[in-house]
Amino acid sequence: MILAAETNASLAQMSNTLVYSSMAVYTLAFLAHIAEWVFGSRSKVGRTAAALTDAGTAAAATVSVRVKGAGGTTVLDRPKVVTRSAAGARDVPDGPGAAGGTVKGDLYGRIAVSLTVLAFAIEAAGVVSRAIAVQRAPWGNMYEFSTTFSTVAVGTYLGFLLAKKNVRWIGLPLVTTVLLDLGLATTWLYTESDQLVPALDSYWLWIHVSTAIFCGAVFYLGAVATLLYLFRDSYESKLASGGQPGSFARSVLERLPSAASLDKFSYRVNAAVFPLWTFTIIAGAIWAGDAWGRYWGWDAKEVWSFITWVGYAAYLHARATAGWKGRKAAYIALIAFGCFLFNYYGVNIFVTSKHSYAGV
């Protein structure tokens, strides 16, 4: 027993060391992402964006396609190829990316992604070490939930990259958020490894909390895309009205995907994970029935989980309702994600409820 306790204590200490090590590597990734934005040629961004914007019009005006017919040659206008957005929205090509379309910027971007992969592997090892040390699922308190959440968020981002999706623009805000999350976890939320209270000692811990963590990670990526969509949409509107944005706005926003692409990405990820969030609430109700003898008791955590569900349901409904697409729907999505954040930090820290045993 003494030897087992010493082994578990060593594993817990190893977990802490790995988490701190991952923070150091994430910091290097953060600096590399900054370098990607800074050293990517700004003039190249402007030239590329202007060329992309004007290319369709110029090509349609100057290029023709010749089709041979029986009686001679017919000249047809070349069709304009665009990325189709929602009805009534602008058809604007995506920007060249954070690297600005330059070799030097792209090199820093690849270094940033490589460092993010390394940090992810180290942090994941820390989460696994914690699980072995406590001999249970490594999300029995806010510290464990936070470290696992950031690991899953980064893993989801890397999964999109592995699937060849154009999401490298998420890298900088993601790494920044992960550093903030781990900073809070290791300072204010840290809890020594310990066994669970009887109500949590259930296989539903693996099912309910793991799905909640994954849903939160995907909702986070959707929230980042939604926020950037609002900035990019305002930028495109200003250009369309003949305005002249500042040099900083041009340097940053011209590199991002178009507002239509960002809006489409946020909608797809939120819509894809919404059924899983529904399952999360149902699984939590079943677990509550086993632990407390009732499926729903209007506990603060239960109420805010349901409010979050209503928020995202309203967002999806707004997307299908005329007059509520675009910015109005985006505001609803951000409010819904705000409810998710309050459900985690606010309820756990400031509200007394049956879920308070999760501890800080």
| C-beta atoms surrounding 3 within 10 Å | 7
Closest C-alpha among 263, 142, 314 to residue 212: 142
How far apart, in Å, are the Cα atoms of 285 and each of 19, 120, 149, 241?
32, 32, 22, 51
**Please, what are the averages of pLDDT over each run of 10 residues along the chain (360 residues)?**
65 90 97 93 62 46 44 46 48 87 92 98 95 87 92 96 93 96 92 72 86 96 96 92 85 92 95 96 90 85 94 93 86 96 88 61
pTM for the model stands at: 0.84
The predicted structure's pLDDT at residue 242? 87
Closest C-alpha among 274, 248, 284, 261 to residue 358: 284
The rounded distance, in Å, linking the Cα atoms of 178 and 233 is: 26
The predicted structure's pLDDT at residue 186? 93
Ramachandran sector of residue 34 (left: φ over 0; alpha: ψ -120 to 50; beta: rest): alpha
CB 68 within 8 A of CB 75: no
Q: What angle do CA 277, 283, 288 make, to 5 degrees?
A: 130
254 secondary structure, DSSP code: T
> Helices 210-240 and 259-292: crossing angle, nearest 10°?
160
Render 52-99 in DSSP notation, one character per residue: HHHHHHHHHHH-EEEEEETTEEEEEEPPP-----STTS---PPP--TT
CB 37 within 8 A of CB 252: yes
C-alpha torsion sign, points 344, 348, 353, 355: positive
The rounded distance, in Å, linking the Cα atoms of 287 and 127 is: 24
Q: What angle do CA 331, 337, 340 make, to 5 degrees?
A: 150
The rounded distance, in Å, linking the Cα atoms of 202 and 221 is: 30
32: exposed, middle or buried (C-beta count within 10 Å: 0-12, 13-18, 19+)?
A: buried
The rounded distance, in Å, linking the Cα atoms of 336 and 238 is: 28
Closest C-alpha among 176, 357, 207 to residue 280: 207
Q: How far is CA 38 from the centre of its chain?
A: 23
